[in-house]
Amino acid sequence: MKVFLTGGSGYIGKATISALVRHGHTVEALARNDHAAETVSAAGATPVRGSLGDLGVLNAAASRAEAVVHLAQAETGEEDLAAATAMQDGIGTGTYVHTGGTWVYGDTDGVVDETAPWNPPSLVAWRRRVEDAVLERAHQGGRPVVVQPGLLYGGENRLIDNFYTAPGREAGAIPYIGDGKNRWALVHIDDLAELYVAALKAKPGSVYAGVGGVNPTAKECALAVAQSVGLDDKVVSITLEQATEEMGPIADAFVLDQQLTSARAEAELGWTPQHDDPLAVLAARG
């Protein structure tokens, strides 16, 4: 299958291109500059020069493809919806896979699935309008699918590193917010890449939570990361106010208490997460 992909030079994108190619697909990937073009080429894709705001480029590339995987992170909901619309117009009756995220469910109060009500922090509240518009195409002959990744770990880069542990490392301890008892719905980058491949065969209008099935607490994750950087058990509790000052509104997402199941993706797509020990992976990374 010929696939057009956005966000190919990013953390998820490189892994997904590799997975698509490994499964025999041919990939074109959006590349906004020379560095991005070199990155997607190295991963196995043919670069298509342009940015997420180049709607004509997106539409034309989608029209050449049999499926689209939209991974690029837009600056605003308006930009994301415009890009999605251009690509869905281009792909027509081909599969369009859109990226959401599990944070939209807010605190889950136990284990939930994709039917749970939305209660998003302000950071991701805009996703409702976009995902509703994307999925509406299922009633118009389109084949939209939404994948909602959990909190990513593994590989060369982790959201946990970038937005949670960096301030604490400077202070000689890894922080967690509050009592750290809130659970994180994690997914390994390699498992998520396989989910995007599997989603190409999903029924129109499907929504899948991309989670690994193991939901450790934020404090357990902090302890594991502390071990990985030679800080042993040096962790420290910080307040939400402190976290917000250091990280901005994403702090509200990191205090969410979330447990989700991937049962739907496993049953409908045959997708089974292979990584079931995130704490060991977090502890081993240097």
- What is the model's pLDDT at position 172? 80
The correct CATH number of 2-151+187-210 out of 3.90.1150.10, 3.40.50.970, 3.10.270.10, 3.40.50.720 is: 3.40.50.720
Average pLDDT per consecutive 10 residues, the chain (286 residues; last block may be shorter): 97 97 98 97 98 98 98 95 98 98 97 97 96 97 97 77 53 88 97 98 98 94 88 91 89 96 97 95 79
According to the model, what pLDDT value does residue 162 have? 57
What are the percentages of helix, strand and coil residues in the chain, rounded to 5?
Answer: 45, 20, 35
Distance of alpha carbon 191 from alpha carbon 243, whole angstroms: 29
Alpha helices, H only, 165-262 = 166-170, 189-199, 218-228, 240-247, 250-254
CA distances for 192 relative to 17, 180, 226, angstroms:
12, 25, 25
- Bridge partners of 209, per DSSP, are 148
Strand order in 46-49's β-sheet?
Answer: 46-49, 26-31, 2-6, 67-70, 95-99, 143-149, 206-210
Token pair 């491949």 is found at 197
d(CA 107, CA 120): 9
Give the C-alpha separation, 286 to 282, whole Å. Answer: 9
| Count of beta carbons in the 10 Å neighbourhood of residue 165 | 23
Q: Which DSSP string do the residues of 43-103 spell out, in sequence order?
A: HT-EEEE--TT-HHHHHHHHHH-SEEEE-PPPSSHHHHHHHHHHHHHHHTTSEEEEE--GG
What pLDDT, on the 0 to 100 scale, is given for residue 173? 86
In the numeric block, the tokens 């950071």 are attached to 123
Residue 284 confidence (pLDDT): 87
**Residue ranges of the domains in the chain?**
2-151+187-210, 154-185+214-284
The reply to whether 2-151+187-210 and 154-185+214-284 are identical in fold is no
Residue 242 buriedness (CB in 10 A; 0-12 / 13-18 / 19+) = middle
Name the nearest CA neighbour of 207 among 124, 269, 153.
269
Q: Does domain 154-185+214-284 have CATH number 3.90.25?
A: yes
Whether the Cβ atoms of residue 197 and residue 24 lie closer than 8 Å to each other: no
d(CA 203, CA 138): 9
Q: Comparing C-alpha atoms, which of 99, 230, 228 is closest to residue 161?
A: 228
pTM for the model: 0.95
